[in-house]
Structures are given as structure tokens and as C-alpha cells.
Amino acid sequence: MDIKYLDLLLILCLLENKGVGQIVAEFMFLNKHNDGVLNPDRTTFISRLAQLLASVPDKARMGASSALTASSFFKSVVSQLLVRAEEAAIESSANKEFNEQDALSSVLLFVGEVLSRVSRRGSTGILVAELIPMIRNHLQRCVAPDCKTIIPDMIKHVPQSQFWFNVVEALRDQHSIERLTEEMLRQLASHHLNDEEVYWILWTLFNQSIMHIAVMRAMFIDKFLLWKTFPLCCLRWILHYAVFEFPPNSVAEAQMRRPSNFLVTLQSLVTVWSKKEFVQSYSVEQQAYITAAIGLCLENMSKEELEMNRDVLNCILQGVSCRLESPIDLVRKMASAVALTFSKVVDPKNPLYLDDDCSENVDWEFGVLSPKEITAPSHDVEFGSKSKPCPRKNRKHAGDKKGKTIKHDISDNRVKIVEIKSKLDSDEMSGAAINFEEHYDEESINIDASSDSSLEPYDLSDDDTDLQKTFTHLSDLAAALRKPDDLDGVESALSSAEKLVRASPDELRHCSGDLVQALVHVRCSDVAMEGEEDSAEEKRQKALVALLVTSPFESLDVLTKLLYSSSVDTSQRILVIDVMTEAAQELAETKIVKSEQRHGNLISDTSPSWLVPRDSGPVGASPWREVSEAGSLLKNWSHRYEREVPSRPGQVKSGKSRKWGLGKAKDSQVERSKNRFPLYAAAFMLPVMEGYDKRRHGVDLLNRDFVVLGKLIYMLGVCMKCMAMHPEASAIAPAFLDMIRAREVSQHAEAYVRRSVLFAASCVLIALHPSYVASVLIEGNQDISTGLEWIRTWALRIAEADPDTECTSMAMNCLRLHSEMVLQTSRALESAEHSKAGTRALPSKLDNIIIPFANMILSDVVLKL
């Protein structure tokens, strides 16, 4: 028989004539005549038949009908199976002569075998898409029209429920069950169903198997809570079904009835969550997922239950403390959310706000657990942004939040008064002042002298701004900063420090080191008022940046020594690094504008010049004027003069300007120098690169102070980027590559350090000129070639195996930059090869370099460094 007719026969028998449903009916008929007993031969036959049915799309020929494709064929098969199995359940319940379970044994075995094989073939989504509408319709049949809620007895009394209770257990393949359950949760989340309906769907499908099979319970409690990552709504469903064991908004929830495994599950969650290794080695999404699970469990706990479980209490405190040490903002938010929820359980009247952005209702999604973000997670944490103080508006808002969290006993009216913002825009103030001046006379006439408003007193409060001490010498400024008793003097010194330094007085070179040391050691928290600490920090940071920009060498000599000094703390070390980062960027973007060079007359205009041509000429000619043009330096001694000459009588063409002079003057243009940083690059980088791995008193960058190490590497990467394509980058790059490829740095346990190394490696690839890399390869310099090859292999390893998703994305970007550098270097090598082809051959060091030719695709360019 022709294969084409076989395809048509399969479509006709199995799909159009509902042949799969007829097979289920045949098994029901056999059960009635054989007492529903499954012997080994029948089990083997059913398994073989299910295998043949599931393999039809695999055996379909190329160009066969679309009905035999996996998506279309399995959709029809699954639909027929589920519909006919429900009908078989109704028939078995109506027949009182046989046990209902035995009557469905062959049907359940066949349905389970087919569904398991469909899932194994990668069509779990099709299976779940057909299953969800049918189970929802079944639950709607179970609810009476006058009832709004579902109870278990309603479902048990419906005949079709016998099939739905046993369908998952009939799969018998745990891998298929796990894939089906995971896909079902994700599709239910996309349907936006309410929590109660999803609870009863899970209860109908899994309740019978989860009570008897330990693996099923472990799948929900262990795998789905500790190993998998679902959207937040799915997490709530898992907790309500497998941990709380009651539907949402039920009477049992109101009575806080606790199942036996609730505290055991919470204990396992907080035990994993409290370990520092979990923060270091798990992805941010997984950490957010388990944090949300703990938070949702705490929201359903009482103070008495928490006090009875001291282990849970200790683990929560330990997990919060280790997360507050993390420099990643999202990780700190997790600690703040758990601490807030924990404090509400212990003392609901005094919630603990560890972050200014905390609200009373915690958002457990953390921006990464929404249904759309779970497949392609995005991060709100962007490493490498400069640490700038927050704007004044944000600082003020943060101060208001702090006031609300601390002064919680103030009345509502008082809180409203405190929250009023009295900031006026300067434009509005100036506009109001002008308007006031214009209409002053008119309004003054209409003033009612007898009104009460005219009797209000004027605001005659003292203004201390005119009494503040003004500083004119940097030495006085440094002395004032060293007087902690005089808070007003310190505040005034911070306010005027930047302007005085930017003025570049003569004493700057001699006083810059002393002033740097005084600014680093000043305590802004003691000087500023509550809520204004950020303003004082901003002034100090701007003053330090100004010192580094105006007097780089003298200031760097002090700052680089303070970085590893035992007399400063971690916050001061971070301040030093942030200041160096901003100063490097400012030096790289500096614009030096030269004034326009104007060559005036060398002889006084009052006397006639021997150099200027005589005024004799045709009538109507304009006077001579001096003009300048671009030329060589030797021609700048000469001058060029021109004047307008009228046309001759009868001449239609307009006259031309006559020129007189020996040469062209230099065209005066504005000259700009946009990068002054390469001159100071070595002073910025080399001192801080020495001794970073040494453990001193109060300094341990590789372990305890990993935040300082991450910021240090980031600052060095910014420095490399600021001198991109300059010769200084080629000179410093080998030493910098040796530093970041050290095992204790590149393979650091903290993701924050690995992110900084990836950023620094990308900056190196941007900074090196392709022609320099080509010359290094030609000369056989092993330092650069080994370092660049390490960047490629290490970035590949990070992209494949790093648990932090931000690291993997940065590694992919690093590989892209590496490939671009390879392409540019290969072109430089080609030009070098052509230019030296007639003189001498390239050295044998280039045997390991695969250079692309004109007929090669750019994507195939490979450079083995």
C-alpha cells in the first residue's frame, strides 16, 4: 500500500472518526467481561499500544498532512482521551456490579501511558492546554448554583471525579508528573485565575496521590520550594495547597489552624536561607523566590508559634544580618522585607523599617517573580553606576520616611504637617518677585487696614547665613575641619571648600595633601542635622573631587596611602574610591579652551603705516582692512589686506576684491583638549594595585572587605576606560590583567566582585588600540596575549556556569567586545602583513593566529591569543 494512503488512513481512523476514544471504549468493554483484573499480558499490550499511538508523529513522512504533526495530532489525541475517560467514569459509577476502581483500571493505565509518552516527547504544553479547560469545567459542575464556595464533598459526589482523582497517579512516570505540574502552574498563572479556584484544581488532581506517595509530597515541598523558581502567584498556590493545607480566605485560615508539616517546612526554608553560601552561590531569582516563601509563611504565623521555635528565630536573624552586608540592592531589600514581616509578628504596633523605601505592604515579587519576568529575568541592579548622592528631592522624601518610622506616636495631623514640602522653584520665586514689583502700588492702595490679616506679625527670625565665617585660605579651611567641637565652623568649611579649591589659589599645591586628609576624616553625620547627612556628604565628596582634579599628584599621594591605612574605616575607603572614580572621569572629560589669537597692528593707528598700502585708487573703493588666514607659523609675521573695488564703467560683471600681502595669517580657532587623564593614569592606578591582597590590621579586601575590593576593581576599570586608545593604556594593561586574573579575585565567592572583574575586563578590551595588540602579537609579547586569551576563556566559563544572571549577561557582553577587538586586530595584522611582504616575513610567533581573509565571513573570525 502506498505510504500516502497510510497517512490518510491514520487520519481517518484515529482523528476524524475518533478512533482513540473508541479504543478507550473497548477497554471498558473488556473490563466488564474480565472483572477489571489487569494481568501482565494485558498490561504489556496496553503499554505497547500507547507507545505506537505516541510515535505516529515521529514516523510520519516528510510532507505529510499537517494533522500528523506533533502539535495537531497530540492535541486531538489528548482531547479524545480525556473526554472518553470522563464518560467511562460515569458508566462505571452507574454499574453497581463492579468496583468502580477496577472498572477503570485498563482505561487509567492506557490514558496514563499515552499522556506520559506525550509529555516525554516535549508536548507537555499541549497536554496541559487541553487539560486545564476540562478540569475547570468539571469543577463548575461540582458547585451548586446557590453555592459560592467549594467543599471536598461536592467534588467527591460527582461521578467524573473518580477519573480526575486517579489520572496523575496513573502516569506512573515521576519525571512526566513533574513536568506536567510545572507546566500547569505556569499556564494557570497566565490565565490569571483566582487563588481559590487554582487550589481546588490542585486538590482534585493531586490530593489522592500526595497522601499516599511520599515522592509527590517531596515534589511540592522540596523541589518546588527550594529548587525551582515560579511566579509569586504560583508560590502562593503551592504554599496553600502543600504547606498550609487550606484554601485561601477559608474558615481554617481565619482560625489559624496549623498542619503538622508547616513548621517543618518553614524550618527547612530558613535554614537554607540563613547560610552565607546561599547568598553567594544562588541566583538572585532563586533567593527572591525562597525569601518570598519565608515571608508568606511568616505572615501566617503568630507570635506564640514563633517563640516556641527558637531555631526559626535565630535563622531569620542570621539571614537578615548577612544580607544587609551585601552591596547588591535587591539582596538588601530581601533582608528588609523579611525583617519588617518578622517585626510585625513580634510587635505589630512597632514595625521595623530597615530601608527608606519600605512600605507597610511588602511586595514579595521583588521585580523578578512576575509571570512575565520568570522566563527572562531582568534585574534592577546595574553594577558599575557611579555612586552619586541622591537628589535633594529624594533626600527630602527619605528624610520624611525616616521621620514617619521613628516618630510613629505623633498624631495624624502632625504627620501631615511634617510631610508638607515647602520647596519653591527658583523660577517661580523670581517670577513672583517681578510680578510683585509691577503691581505693588496698585495692591497697596487696596489694602484694608482694618482686616485681621494686616495685623499678623512679620517673620523676623534670624538668618545665620550672613554670620557664617568665610574662608579665604586653604590652611584655615583644613584647620576648621579638624575642630569637631565647632560644628558650625565645620559645616561652613564644607560649604565653601569646593569653590575655594576650584579657584586654584597659589597655596593649593602645598595645602592639598593636608586638606585631603582633613576631608576624609571629618564626620559628616556629627556635623549635619538629622535628614541632612547626604547634603554634607555630597559637599565633602565634591571638594575631594575638586582637589584631585586641580592638584592630582599631591592629592593622590595622600589618598592612595589612606586607602590601605588602618586609621580609616570601610566607609572612608569606599569614599576614597568613589572620589577617585569621579575625578578620573572629570579629568577625561576636561575641556581646555584657548582664547582666540588676534594679531593687532604692530604700528599705531594714529600714524600711517608703511606696511598698509596707500589709499590711492579708483573712486568709490573701500578702505583697506586687515584679514587673517590659516597658514604656517613662519607666515604669521606677514599680513594680508583687502578692499572692495567698484566695477568699471560699462562692466556688467561685479568687481573683485584686490588682495595685497606676502602671506596668509593663521586662522584663529578655539582649541580643546578633552582628556587630561592619561597624564595621571599611573598615579591613579599603580599605587592602589600594590598590596590589595595583603591582610593588614583592619584591612582584608579578599574576604571581609569584599565590597571595597569590588569598588576598587571597578575604579581601575573606569581608569582604563578613561585612557582608551592612549599609549598609557597599553603600558598599564599587563599589570592590571595580572591583578584581575588572580584566582582569589576572578573566582571570588561574591557575585559583586565577579561583576566588577567582568566590567574591568571589558574596559581593558575597549582601552587597547587594535594596532598595539597587533604589534604585540608580531613581537611575541606573551603578557598581553596571555591576558587577552584569559579574558576569553574566563568569560566563556562565567557565561556558562555562573549562578548570578547579571554575571552571565556581563560575560556575554565581554565576549562580544573580545570578538570586536579580534576583528579589528586581524585587520591591522593584514595591513602589517601586506606592508612587510616585500621586506621580511612575519615571525613564527603568528602560527597560532588565525587571520581572516577577504573571502571569509566576519563571524568566523577567530584569533587564538
Residues 731, 859, single domain; the answer is yes
Euclidean distance between CA atoms 298 and 267, whole angstroms: 11
Whether 378 shows a pLDDT value over 50: the answer reads: no
What is the per-residue pLDDT for 398? Answer: 39
Q: In this structure, is the dihedral angle defined by the CA atoms of residues 793, 799, 800 and 804, taken in order, positive or negative?
A: positive
Q: Does residue 259 lie within any of the structural domains?
A: no
- Count the neighbouring beta carbons within 10 Å of the beta carbon of residue 429: 10
What is the per-residue pLDDT for 649? Answer: 66
Which residue is associated with the grid cell 591582597?
693
pLDDT tier at 802 (50, 70, 90 boundaries)? very high
What is the per-residue pLDDT for 411? Answer: 33
Whether 431 shows a pLDDT value over 80: the answer reads: no
Euclidean distance between CA atoms 71 and 79, whole angstroms: 12
What is the per-residue pLDDT for 407? Answer: 33
- Give, as one character, the DSSP assignment of residue 699: B
Grid coordinates belonging to 545 = 573631587
Q: Of 592, 619, 645, which marks where a domain is finished?
A: 592
What one-character-per-residue DSSP string does 196-253 give? Answer: HHHHHHHHHHHHHHHHH-HHHHHIIIIIIIII----HHHHHHHIIIIII-S-TT-HHH
Q: In this structure, is the dihedral angle defined by the CA atoms of residues 797, 798, 802 and 805, taken in order, positive or negative?
A: negative
Instruction: Find the mean pLDDT for residues 821-838.
Output: 78
Instruction: Find the mean pLDDT for residues 3-18.
Output: 79
Residues 657, 690, single domain; the answer is no
Q: Of 547, 571, 592, which marks where a domain is finished?
A: 592
Euclidean distance between CA atoms 307 and 303, whole angstroms: 6
Q: Global pTM?
A: 0.71
Q: Does residue 65 lie within any of the structural domains?
A: no
Whether 3 shows a pLDDT value over 60: the answer reads: yes
Q: Does residue 99 lie within any of the structural domains?
A: no
Residues 787, 733, single domain; the answer is yes
Whether 854 shows a pLDDT value over 50: the answer reads: no
Query: Beta strand 658-661 with 640-643: parallel, antiparallel or unpaired?
Result: antiparallel
Between 540 and 669, residue with greater pLDDT: 540
The rounded radius of gyration (Å) of the Cα atoms in the chain is: 40
Euclidean distance between CA atoms 537 and 520, whole angstroms: 10
Residues 694, 824, single domain; the answer is yes
Between 223 and 62, residue with greater pLDDT: 223
Assess contact for 557 and 682: CB atoms under 8 A: no
What is the per-residue pLDDT for 444? Answer: 42
Euclidean distance between CA atoms 299 and 160, whole angstroms: 37
Assess contact for 518 and 481: CB atoms under 8 A: yes
Question: pLDDT digits over 729-788, tens only?
Answer: 999 999 999 999 999 999 999 999 999 999 999 999 999 999 999 888 888 778 888 999
Residues 655, 693, single domain; the answer is no
Would you call 659 helix, strand, or coil by DSSP?
Answer: strand
Residues 803, 718, single domain; the answer is yes
pLDDT tier at 179 (50, 70, 90 boundaries)? very high
Q: Which of 157, 247, 233, 269 is nearest to 202 (CA)?
A: 247
- Give the angle 689-693-696 at the CA atoms, nearest 5°: 110
Q: Which of 373, 278, 406, 284 is nearest to 334 (CA)?
A: 284
Would you call 642 helix, strand, or coil by DSSP?
Answer: strand
Instruction: Find the mean pLDDT for residues 823-842.
Output: 71
Q: Does residue 147 lie within any of the structural domains?
A: no
Between 102 and 463, residue with greater pLDDT: 102
Q: Residue 499 sits in a domain of what CATH number? A: 1.25.40.720
What is the per-residue pLDDT for 253? Answer: 53
Residues 635, 764, single domain; the answer is no
Residues 536, 647, single domain; the answer is no
Q: Does residue 716 lie within any of the structural domains?
A: yes
Q: Of 545, 564, 592, which marks where a domain is finished?
A: 592
pLDDT tier at 131 (50, 70, 90 boundaries)? very high
Grid coordinates belonging to 534 = 547626604
Question: pLDDT digits over 287-333, tens only?
Answer: 999 999 999 999 988 888 888 888 898 999 999 999 998 888 999 99
Question: pLDDT digits over 226-277, tens only?
Answer: 999 999 999 999 999 999 888 887 655 545 566 778 889 999 999 999 999 9
Would you call 696 helix, strand, or coil by DSSP?
Answer: strand
H/E/C letters for each residue in 525-545? HHHCCCCCHHHHHHHHHHHHH
Query: Beta strand 640-643 with 625-627: parallel, antiparallel or unpaired?
Result: antiparallel
Question: pLDDT digits over 133-173, tens only?
Answer: 999 999 888 887 777 777 788 888 888 888 899 899 888 88
Domain with 495, as residue range(s), is 468-592
Residues 641, 741, single domain; the answer is no
What is the per-residue pLDDT for 422? Answer: 31
Tell me which H or E stretch contains 661.
strand 658-661
Assess contact for 79 and 71: CB atoms under 8 A: no
Euclidean distance between CA atoms 418 and 195, whole angstroms: 40
Euclidean distance between CA atoms 39 and 216, whole angstroms: 27
Assess contact for 560 and 568: CB atoms under 8 A: no
**Average pLDDT over the chain, rounded to an integer:** 77
Q: Does residue 551 lie within any of the structural domains?
A: yes
pLDDT tier at 863 (50, 70, 90 boundaries)? very low
Assess contact for 494 and 540: CB atoms under 8 A: yes
Euclidean distance between CA atoms 421 and 92, whole angstroms: 74
Compute the half-sphere exposure of residue 722: CA atoms within 13 Å on the CB side of its CA.
28
| CA-based max dimension of the chain | 137
Euclidean distance between CA atoms 699 and 325, whole angstroms: 16
Q: Does residue 227 lie within any of the structural domains?
A: no
Residues 720, 832, single domain; the answer is yes
Q: Does residue 703 lie within any of the structural domains?
A: yes
Range ranked top by mean pLDDT from 517-531, 661-675, 756-770:
756-770
Residues 717, 641, single domain; the answer is no
Euclidean distance between CA atoms 567 and 696, whole angstroms: 12
Helix crossing, 19-33 with 70-94: angle to 10°? 30
Between 721 and 619, residue with greater pLDDT: 721
Question: pLDDT digits over 190-201, tens only?
Answer: 988 889 999 999
- Count the neighbouring beta carbons within 10 Å of the beta carbon of residue 66: 8
Euclidean distance between CA atoms 756 and 739, whole angstroms: 13
Q: Residue 724 sits in a domain of what CATH number? A: 1.25.10
Residues 799, 721, single domain; the answer is yes
Would you call 627 helix, strand, or coil by DSSP?
Answer: strand
Residue 403, sorted as left (phi over 0), alpha (psi -120 to 50) or beta, turns out to be alpha
Q: Which of 781, 738, 772 is nearest to 757 (CA)?
A: 738
**Tally of domains in the chain:** 3
Between 316 and 607, residue with greater pLDDT: 316
- Count the neighbouring beta carbons within 10 Å of the beta carbon of residue 591: 10
Whether 852 shows a pLDDT value over 60: the answer reads: no
